[in-house]
Amino acid sequence: MNSEKDEPQKAVNSQLSTVNSFLTHLESERRLSPHTVSNYQRDLKEASRVLGQQDWAAVTVHDIRSLVATLHRQGKGGKTIARLLSTLRTFYRYLMREGIARDNPVVDVRAPRSGKRLPKALDADQVTQLLDAGVDKGDPLSLRDQAIMELFYACGLRLAELLSLNVDSIDMTAAQLLVTGKGNKTRQLPMGKPAVTALKRWLKARPLFVKDSSEKAIFLSKNGKRLSSSSVQQRLKRHALERGLDDHLHPHKLRHSFATHLLESSGDLRAVQELLGHADLATTQVYTHLDFQHLAQVYDGAHPRAQRRKDDDESS
């Protein structure tokens, strides 16, 4: 009877002995740093916790896939799981070399993809703070920068799309903009009244910057050349700081804000896809997560039962 009770402990001891031999191999033969060896040890300990008390040589590809699924359900990210699988692949190569395992059950197992980082967006008040603060500034550079910021937010433009705009890209009568996006694909975009007004004011000042009459770019630098991407990024950052926005403002944040606010108001994912110039709807769907976050905040703040639940949590 005692020998049967000792079996689980023997299995644990055997697992630990095998792992310790592997770690010694990493230190002495492969000359890996103590930090790297510690990472291997941590990953193997985590794998052992999930796999349970079984011989490493008995682990199958189905066990490894079950391990991945369990870690994913527990909230582990794709990168974390991928690193653990990499550790196990190396471990099993060692076991095969030592004749402990006959094959490597990790070879064809891949980690789930990491979720895309949700783009950050300005809220409506921050957009107002940014755009309305510069309306009355009449110097030519401010007029140019105001038109740039209005277009980014009004049309959801990429930086390269804005820089490629020419004078003949604008139809002021129809309040439309012809944009050339990725893959040289063009799309027609509507402009709101603030963007049209800002553009008109800039176009009146634009001749002050013209050095060569053949230059067709809408937005020019002081030397009369088409404005560069670094100049736009620097000017956006400067205006954001001047207008009390602490976060780093870049062109894509205004594009994200455009998409987020439009989806919150309309719920029309297809329309947002067309306006952004996304070839694949899946690219646009990242904004549905942002929209859900907004809806969840509204729900928690307004729904009576949600409010009661929140109060109960705080009192418990």
The verdict on whether 299 is a catalytic residue reads: no
Do residues 209 and 218 lie in contact, with contact meaning Cβ atoms separated by under 8 Å?
no
Catalytic hit among 40, 94, 153, 287: 287
Which among 76, 83, 120, 252 is annotated as catalytic?
252
Give the active site residue among 25, 83, 89, 278: 278
- Taking Cα atoms as reference points, which of 78, 72, 77, 103 lies closest to residue 89? 103
**Cα separations (Å) of 254 from 68, 85, 120?**
38, 38, 9
| Rounded Cα distance, 77 and 83, in Å | 10
C-alpha 42/C-alpha 24 separation (Å) is: 15
Helices (H) and strands (E) in the chain, counts: 14, 3
C-alpha triplet 304, 306, 308: angle, nearest 5° = 70
Residues of the chain with confidence (pLDDT) below 50: 1-2, 4-5, 8, 291, 295, 308-316
Indicate if 158 belongs to the active site: yes
- What's residue 121's pLDDT? 82
Strand, coil or helix: 105: coil
Q: In angstroms, rounded to a whole number, what is the distance separating the alpha carbons of residues 141 and 242? A: 15
Give the pTM: 0.57
Which of 144, 158, 235, 261 is flagged as catalytic? 158
Catalytic residue among 116, 182, 222, 310: 182
Give the pLDDT of residue 310: 43
Please check whether residue 219 is in contact with residue 148, taking contact to mean a CB–CB distance below 8 angstroms: yes
pLDDT value at position 159? 93
Position 304 scores a pLDDT of: 60
Q: For residue range 76-125, list pLDDT tens digits in order.
A: 888 889 999 999 999 999 999 999 999 999 998 888 776 556 557 888 89
Quote the percentage of the chain above a pLDDT of 70.
81
Distances (CA, A) of 284 to 94, 118, 134: 44, 11, 31
Q: Are 127 and 113 in contact (CB under 8 A)?
A: no
Please tell me the predicted confidence (pLDDT) of residue 119. 58
* SS3 label, residue 102: coil
* Whether 278 is catalytic: yes
Task: Tell me how far apart the alpha carbons of residues 231 and 145 are, in angstroms, rounded to a whole number.
Answer: 10
Chain segment 10-38, per-residue pLDDT in tens:
555 567 788 899 999 999 998 888 889 99
The chain-wide mean pLDDT, for the chain, equals 83
